[in-house]
Chains A and B, each alone.
Chain A
Amino acid sequence: MSLLLLIALPLIASFLMPFYRRFLRPVTLGLDLGLVGLVYAFYGQLPVQEMVSFSSPLSIAFRLDTASYFFVALFVGIRLFDSMYRLREAADPSYFIVGNLFLVGVLGLVLSADIFNLYIFFEIASISAYIFTAMKQDQQGYAGAITYMIVGGIASIFLLLAIMLIYLHLGYLTLSAIGAGFHTLDASMQRLILILLFVGFGIKAEIFPLNLWVADIYQAAPIRVDALFSSMLSKAYLFLFFHLVYLLHPDPASLRFLTVIGLVSFAVAELSALRSRNLKRIFAYSTLGQLGVAFAALASTDPMIIAGALFLIGAHSVAKVLLFFGLDALEEASGSVQVEAFATFRSPFLLTVFAIGFLSILGIPPLAGFIAKLTILEGFAATGYFWVVGSILFVSLIEATYFFRILSKRAHAEKTVEISLSSGRMILLGLLAAGLIILGIFPGEAMAFCTHAAQIFLSGVPHV
């Protein structure tokens, strides 16, 4: 079995689409189940490395280790959820193609072991994300997509500049080789490349102040696409950025800078959600906030904190999928995504789903988010970063304020909007919600995996 299959299967499926136009739904499901099977099969053989060599620098190298496996499994799982959720809807060929491209993009970002490939997947993921944004084909969607393209273009330029400088000075593009040779560059060049990488990936990983575009894009895109953006796309860039950071062994001062930036990102995002009235924007801000925490935690160089950050990424992805898909059902029924609409729907099931999503993101026991937050806080306290603990707790309170403001709106409100969720969808959402509870009560296995992944993550990549 080859890692290439993870990339090739969705691509081939997209190209051959005209041949099975009428059987798109079973094909999508088959493809996704195949990918899940493939990912499962790789579990026993980590780490896996593959290289398809052309003349240098044009080689294709992939690497799957415990850290990237975490993300690959997460992405494939969410994608399977998305396909199953769509099972009863009319198949949409354009969604099929863009969705596959998107999956290829995020998987490629995580799997690539050389920086040129990485750039290609960066573009694939970006372009499919632009199309996704405009999927509704309305004015807001197009406007959003154009903004997204401009911002994405800027990110590409910075990334390309960084790649160019690396290639100019080192003469190779393989990640492990760059990691080994990077310290031979003179210090100012190292800093310049790091800054270019930070800006290029920071825009995509949605870090303040490079994330000012995000809320508008989330508002413009269809809600279920937002779920994919916040649970797959931003997480892939987050992984990639820190993967590169640890590969290049930056000085502690830069890492402290990243921690501070992450915390500022968290604070700014949660504060802006405080008075927002649009649930799509609120969820977008919440995503930015959680990415900020994960960013601060990933920059800590401590295996325990990074394990917590990975756990946080997983728990947040699941919770955000729950929230966005729940919001989708709400919008379908009420036609609105304003906070006021939240107060008027009548469905104990959906309310429970929302509550579990909220509470998990807030880090309230006994949900998965709590374990993540506790591990991160304990880690920071154990390494003596009390100011980080204090600021995370304080900002969490702001986060709690707006989440509960949304929930409290329901008090004394007339519940007029009926939600019609098919039983299949209810089972799917219920499974995710149950997953958050189960992970919260029995985090042992998952946390052990995250700890292992964190160690791999910190060790950088061995030579390909």
Chain B
Amino acid sequence: MFSFAITPLGNLFFGMSVVVFVSLLFAGGRRGEWLWYVLLLGSLGLVFYADDLVTLFIGWEIMSWSSYFLIARRASSATLQKYIVFNLAAAFALLGALVLIYGAEGSVAYVAIDLSTLAPSHRIAIALLLFGTLFIKSGIVPFHYWVVDTYAQADERFSTVLSAIISKVGIFLFILFFVRFLPAELLPKGLFVLLAWLGVITSIIATFKAIDEDEPKRLLAYSSIAQVGYIITVIALLTNSALEAALYHAVIHTFVKLLLFVNVAAILHTTGRNTFSTLGGLMNTYLLNFLLLVIGIIALAGVPLLGGFSSKFLIYTTLLEAHQGLLLAAVMFSSASAFLYCYKLVYGIYLGQPTHDPEVSAPGRIPWGYYVPQVVGAALLLILGALPGAIVPYVNTILEDLSLAPVMDGGATVLATPFASFNGLVIWEAFVGIFLLILLGFLLLKNRSTRPRDRYDISYCGEVPRPDVNLHYGYGMGRELIRIGGIRTILTHHAHALWGRVIVVAGDGSHLIQRLYSLTAQNIAWLFVAFVTALLYLEVH
């Protein structure tokens, strides 16, 4: 019943999963959890290496419910409920697509699937069901309802897995179906234009929601949604360079989020604080963690030097190549706004003034195990920054396997596209030179005063704040954004308004029907009579 095929695409995704899972082994954890992690990794193996739709679906479902039991240890029942209902909806949409394909082809084996002979309406139905799965799994607005609470409340290790791996499974599915089985030329072009725009709108909304967040984990959750939004935008173009950009960004995002989530987890674990308003000024205490976070946010922001730039570069050039100027502008807008939350992350935790809380001022050490995943992530990001073309040959293997033309390969140090190319090593050399100069200047000019300062010691500004006023900048950062027209709309509207209404309507319907099931015998008898009369009446006419 199960059949498998080792494909380069599967290898890439499963390889990333293994790296993430293994490095997370070091970062603490309870006994008894490992069973679920093994089950989860096994289910990911089923998904990535499946060679028929049923195996794929079985892996997908096991992934959903084994995650449920992993989240169940920490999350509230409302969050759990959201998680499982949305993910089962995604799974059932996938099952629907699978069953439709089976109905048309009479087989579920990948090799036997040829959807080119199907009726167009049939193909669109399959595509829409798969879009549903993708939207839920990747958290496209408004299907992101489940994402943030789940990330925030799950165990730190599991949040990492969710963000680094599970959020990419939808991308894998998309490539599998829309490149291999249901190529874009078989579908109306509008579908993919819509998808690209949904991706970028999601990333804009999620970016501003992230800036507004007070919890590092929730911020990272929104950031995940935004980053996956970019991937969806670019992959919707479905060219070979779009696929390159999407895969590249998926790899980068996996390791960025591995680094960042574990970094934040280490702080939360050691200080026991989980909001920006209670953290701050921890740079000197956790210098190594701080430096790792800086690496993470540089990659996340997509500025040169680290791997994050390489993938953003590919996204931009792909959009340019496809003459999608508006999409490019939107992605750039979102990408630039992302600086704000990146900054909030580093400022809110490590910079700014330390809080007075003695617990935070004199916290314990970070267990060494928390550094392992971070170092793994940082190392890969550094390598891909200096050698941006290093994974291009592998991307070409994947493209070849999917019968697509290869992309330009400019050698390990050069990331080449038809539009432009850059040499990662040269950038590094220039950076190191400039950095050394700045460091020298900084050391020479540094103010050597070490007088400890009170955070309320700002009376020279003409203000004497009360002790209950939170002066920490990370606390209110992003709040001013609400004054900007469009962004106010984003920040004041919540998915709960929509889904809450759905829940209320369903609940009311349920109450109404339940009353039918509590009738007295007499009324039931009358109803039977009415039903039979209706049947007979229908029969006569």
Residues of A within 8 A of B (CB): 146-147, 150-151, 154, 158, 188, 191-192, 195, 198-199, 203, 209-210, 212-216, 268, 271-276, 281, 285, 359, 362, 364-366, 370, 374, 377-378, 380-384, 386, 389-390, 393-394, 396-398, 400-401, 404-405, 407-412, 444
CB distance from B410 to the nearest CB of A (A): 45
**Nearest A residue (CB) for B74:** A411
Beta-carbon contacts under 8 Å, B506-528 to A: 506-507, 509-511, 513-514, 516-522, 524-525, 527-528
The answer to the question of B379 belonging to the interface, with a C-beta cut-off of 8 Å to chain A, is no
18 pairs from A and B in contact (CB 8 Å cutoff): A158-B532, A191-B539, A195-B536, A212-B516, A213-B521, A215-B517, A276-B514, A364-B61, A365-B58, A365-B62, A366-B58, A370-B58, A404-B88, A407-B72, A408-B72, A408-B80, A410-B72, A411-B77
Residue of B58, B92, B103, B527 near A397 (CB, 8 A) is B92
| B 102-117 to A, binary, CB cutoff 8 A, 1 in contact else 0 | 1110100000000000
Contact A268 B58 (CB under 8 A): no
- Interfacial residues of chain B within 162-215, with CB under 8 A of chain A in the complex: none
Task: For the A-B complex with A404-B81, A407-B80 known, give 9 more contacts whose Cβ atoms are closer than 8 Å.
Answer: A150-B524, A192-B536, A192-B539, A274-B509, A359-B65, A383-B103, A386-B103, A404-B85, A411-B75
Contact for B528 among A146, A154, A214, A407, CB less than 8 A: A154
The 8 closest A-B pairs by CB, nearest first: A381-B103, A274-B510, A275-B510, A408-B77, A365-B58, A408-B80, A147-B521, A272-B513
Kindly name the residue among A158, A285, A365, A410 whose own CB sees the greatest number of chain B CB atoms within 10 A: A365
Residues of A within 8 A of B509 (CB): 271, 274
Note all chain B residues with C-beta closer than 8 A to A410: 72, 77
Considering the chains assembled together, what is the distance between the CA atoms of A191 and B537 in angstroms? Answer: 12
What residues of chain A lie closer than 8 Å to B350, measured between beta carbons? Answer: none
Number of A-B contacts (CB under 8 A): 154
Majority SS at the chain A contact face: helix
Whether B527 lies near A209 (C-beta < 8 A) is yes
- Complex formed: what's the CA distance from A285 to B89 in Å? 21
Among the listed B84, B106, B517, which residue makes an inter-chain contact with A404, where contact means beta carbons less than 8 Å apart? B84
Shortest A392–chain B CB gap in Å is 9
Closest chain B CB from A144 CB (angstroms): 10
Q: Are A275 and B514 in contact (CB under 8 A)?
A: yes
Are B76 and A411 within 8 A (Cβ)?
A: yes
Closest A residue to B64 by CB, please name it. A364
In the complex, A276 Cα to B65 Cα: how many Å? 23
> B85–A151 contact, CB under 8 A?
no
**List of A residues within 8 angstroms of B517 by Cβ:** 212, 214-216, 272, 281, 285
Query: Complex: how many Å from CA A389 to CA B84?
Result: 21
Residues of B within 8 A of A (CB): 1, 54, 57-58, 61-62, 65, 68, 72, 75-78, 80-81, 84-85, 88-89, 92-93, 95-96, 99-100, 102-104, 106, 125, 506-507, 509-511, 513-514, 516-522, 524-525, 527-528, 531-532, 535-536, 539
Q: How far is the CA of A210 from the CA of B95 in the complex (A)?
A: 31
- Kindly provide the distance from the CB of B102 to the nearest chain A CB, expressed in whole angstroms: 5
Alpha-carbon distance between A26 and B57 when the two chains are bound, in angstroms = 47
| Cα of A362 to Cα of B125 in the assembled complex, Å | 24
| A210 and B524 alpha carbons, distance in the complex (Å) | 8
Q: Is the CB–CB distance between B80 and A382 below 8 Å?
A: no
Known: A274-B510, A404-B80. A396 touches B516 (CB 8 A): no
Docked Cα-Cα span, A216 to B102, in Å, equals 41
Are A274 and B58 within 8 A (Cβ)?
A: no
Chain B min CB distance to A14 (Å): 29
Given contacts A378-B102, A381-B100, contact A146 B521 (CB under 8 A): yes
Residue of A nearest to B92 (CB): A393
Distance A154 CA – B536 CA, assembled complex (angstroms): 17
Q: Could you tell me if A271 and B510 are in contact, using CB atoms closer than 8 angstroms? A: yes
Do A397 and B539 form a contact, CB below 8 Å, given A150-B525, A272-B517, A384-B103?
no
Q: Give A440's nearest chain B residue, CB to CB.
A: B58
Residues of A within 8 A of B103 (CB): 378, 380-384, 386, 389
Contacting A212 at CB < 8 Å: which of B1, B92, B104, B519? B519
Inter-chain contact A400/B535, CB cutoff 8 Å: no
Q: Inside 8 A of B88's CB, which chain A residues have their CB?
A: 362, 397, 400, 404
B99, A213: Cβ atoms under 8 Å? Answer: no
Partner of A381, one of B75, B77, B102, B521: B102
Of chain B, the residue at the smallest CB distance from A441 is B1
Closest A residue to B509 using CB positions: A271
Which residue, A203, A210, A401, has most C-beta atoms of chain B within 10 A? A401
A386 to B75, CA, bound (A): 37
The residues of A that contact B93 with a CB separation of less than 8 Å are 393
**Closest-CB distance, A288 to chain B (whole angstroms):** 9
Distance (Å) between the CB of B154 and the closest chain A CB?
A: 12
Contacts of B54 in A (CB 8 A): 374
Report Cα–Cα, A214/B514, bound state, in Å: 12
Asked if A389 and B96 make an inter-chain contact with CB atoms under 8 angstroms apart, the answer reads yes
Q: Among B75, B92, B519, which residue has its beta carbon within 8 angstroms of that of A396?
A: B92
CA distance A381 to B108 in the complex (A): 13
B102 touches A408 (CB 8 A): no
Give the chain A neighbours of B62 by CB distance below 8 A.
365-366
> A394–B532 Cα gap in the complex (Å)?
29
Docked pose: A357 CA to B9 CA in angstroms: 36
* Given A150-B525, A203-B528, A408-B77, A275 and B507 contact (CB-CB distance below 8 Å): yes
Q: In the complex, what residue of chain A is closest to B519 when comparing beta carbons?
A: A212
Q: Are A377 and B77 within 8 A (Cβ)?
A: no
CA–CA, A192 and B536, complex, Å = 8
Distance between Cα atoms of A381 and B65 in the complex (Å): 26
Contacts A209-B531, A271-B509, A408-B81 given; indicate if A151 touches B92 (C-beta within 8 A): no
In the complex the two chains form, what is the Cα distance from A441 to B104 in whole Å?
25
B81 and A199 contacting across the interface, CB-CB below 8 Å: no
- Contacts A271-B510, A275-B514, A359-B65 hold; do A397 and B102 have CB atoms under 8 A apart? no
Q: In the complex, which residues of chain B have a beta carbon less than 8 angstroms from the beta carbon of A285? A: 517
Question: Chain A residues with Cβ under 8 A from B95's Cβ?
Answer: 374, 377, 393
Q: How far is the CB of B91 from chain A (nearest CB, A)?
A: 8
Contact B96 A390 (CB under 8 A): yes
Task: Give the distance in Å from the alpha carbon of A405 to the alpha carbon of B68 in the complex.
Answer: 12
Are the C-beta atoms of B528 and A411 separated by less than 8 Å? no
Q: Is the CB of A398 within 8 A of B72?
A: no
Q: Which residue of B lies closest to A381 (CB)?
A: B103
Please name the residue on chain B nearest to A373 by beta carbon: B95
Q: How far is the CA of A202 from the CA of B373 in the complex (A)?
A: 61
**Within 8 Å CB of A365, what residues of B?**
57-58, 61-62
The listed residue with most B CB atoms (<10 A of its CB), out of A276, A364, A377, A411, is A411
Report whether A199 and B85 are in contact in the complex, using a CB–CB cutoff of 8 Å.
Answer: no
CA distance A404 to B513 in the complex (A): 20
- Residues of B near A275 (CB, < 8 A) are 507, 510-511, 514
